[in-house]
Amino acid sequence: MSKIVLTGDRPTGKLHLGHFVGSLQNRLELQKDSSFDDIFIMLADAQALTDNSKNPTKIRDNIIEVVLDYLSIGLDPNRVTFFIQSQIPALTELTFYYMNLVSIARLERNPTVKNEIKLRGFKEKDNEQGIPTGFVVYPISQAADITAFNANYVPVGEDQKPMLEQTREIVETFNKTYGETLVMPNIILPKSNSANRLVGIDGSEKMSKSLNNAIFLSDDEKTLHDKVFKCYTDPSHININDKGNLENNVVFKYLDVFCEEDTFTRFLPDYNNLQEMKDHYSCGGLGDVKCKKLLFDVLNDKLSKCRENREIWKNKIEDIYDILEAGTNKAIKVSNATLDKVKTAMKIDYFNDKNTLINDWKNWLNG
């Protein structure tokens, strides 16, 4: 069986380090692995519109920001098919049919959707402040995204686990009801636990644009420096000789995630590894400034390459247009083939073969 990857992001803002460790990093690994036949990365503009219906320009503008983020980290348009969700008619059609396989109660207990409804302040109202129907059913449209491309691997962050469970249930129900048609997808989660949910620079649970605590892939050097030096550490660690607390210390949480084998030889040869540095911090004698300086060096090393690539691609917007158009055309073809199979399985393929339908109807009428 071929190995196919599909994933995507809502183009509602620039991508940040949380996205990087949560899912982008995994994509970079997958693109290096030649055993994968196809890698689809989708700009989920239709999903973004489910809670941004009044703000279509924001979504349109952020498509280019997100694509620049993809290209700047090194996702390779020769290897990856990038496409725009709203331009793929099969996805809306599949969503419409899958809706019949999922109960409203099942949708309502999706923890990600529940949480997002709370975060967005939607109310139980039948007016404009109410929860948009499209928003409640977006897990079903996500099942369409995944199954339309026969994806068996879906690299996403921890928060998307309920979406994958929902998709797997839909695949199971569909195949049981209409015969083996859809491919069962598997989730690929980030390797380390701390990467699964990167905290914000303020120490709050999640890095997020709306919480204003994110380090963006496109941040310039000065912005990065300011943000690193604003990171929450240990408020009781006032003098260098005070014992430092590592728990909830954002600088060390980030170092845990971003330090590499050669980090200390390159940037801070006083220590052999992160554990030594942590021990020193806990015992007292190591100040926050030195730790922040290391974190800045580590992150800046990563992001400076991104910034360079971003500048190059920014001058090639015409090429990006062509990449997206070609990717979208390919995605239309692949998803239409799945839609055909689905319609045949559901016996709604009336005009595919004239004789079959005529014979079926004649047989029926003749009892």
Residue with Cβ nearer ligand TRP (154 or 277): 154
Strand 153-155, strand 186-188: pairing:
parallel
Q: Are 258 and 299 in contact (CB under 8 A)?
A: yes
156 forms part of the interface with ligand TRP (CB under 6 A): yes
Name the one range near ligand TRP by CB under 6 A: 152-160, 186-194, 201-209, 273-281: 152-160
Taking the C-alpha atoms of residue 38 and residue 148, their distance in angstroms, rounded to an integer, is 13
Task: Choose which of 4, 5, 6, 21 interacts with ligand TRP (CB under 6 A).
Answer: 6
214 forms part of the interface with ligand TRP (CB under 6 A): no
Name the one range near ligand TRP by CB under 6 A: 2-10, 244-252, 305-313, 342-350: 2-10
Q: Which two tokens stand for residue 277?
A: 């540095």
Instruction: Provide, rounded to whole angstroms, the least separation between the CB of residue 249 and ligand TRP.
Output: 28
Name the one range near ligand TRP by CB under 6 A: 93-101, 153-161, 222-230, 236-244: 153-161
Query: How many CB atoms are located within 10 Å of the residue 323 CB?
Result: 20
Q: Could you tell me which residues come within 8 angstroms of residue 125 by beta carbon, excluding any fewer than 6 positions away?
A: none
Instruction: Provide, rounded to whole angstroms, the least separation between the CB of residue 364 and ligand TRP.
Output: 40
Taking the C-alpha atoms of residue 240 and residue 243, their distance in angstroms, rounded to an integer, is 8
Residue with Cβ nearer ligand TRP (139 or 244): 139
Number of chain positions touching ligand TRP (CB under 6 A): 13
- HSE at residue 164, side-chain half, CA atoms within 13 A, is 20
The residue with its CB nearest to ligand TRP is: 44
Instruction: Provide, rounded to whole angstroms, the least separation between the CB of residue 218 and ligand TRP.
Output: 18
12 forms part of the interface with ligand TRP (CB under 6 A): no
User: Is 100 strand, coil or helix?
Assistant: helix
Taking the C-alpha atoms of residue 98 and residue 342, their distance in angstroms, rounded to an integer, is 10
145 forms part of the interface with ligand TRP (CB under 6 A): yes
Q: Are 350 and 357 in contact (CB under 8 A)?
A: yes
Residue with Cβ nearer ligand TRP (149 or 281): 149
The H-or-E segment that residue 318 falls in is helix 317-345
Instruction: Provide, rounded to whole angstroms, the least separation between the CB of residue 259 and ligand TRP.
Output: 26
Considering only residues 23 to 52 of the shown chain, the ones binding ligand TRP according to CB under 6 A are 44, 47
Task: Choose which of 39, 41, 91, 154 interacts with ligand TRP (CB under 6 A).
Answer: 154
Residue labelled with tokens 């129900």:
173
User: Is 43 strand, coil or helix?
Assistant: strand
Considering only residues 45 to 84 of the shown chain, the ones binding ligand TRP according to CB under 6 A are 47
146 forms part of the interface with ligand TRP (CB under 6 A): yes
Taking the C-alpha atoms of residue 88 and residue 145, their distance in angstroms, rounded to an integer, is 10
Residue with Cβ nearer ligand TRP (151 or 277): 151
Instruction: Provide, rounded to whole angstroms, the least separation between the CB of residue 264 and ligand TRP.
Output: 34
Q: What's the distance, CA 324 to chain centroid?
A: 18
Supply the Cα-derived Rg of the chain in whole angstroms. 24
Q: Which residues bind ligand TRP (CB under 6 A)?
A: 6-10, 44, 47, 142, 145-146, 154, 156, 160
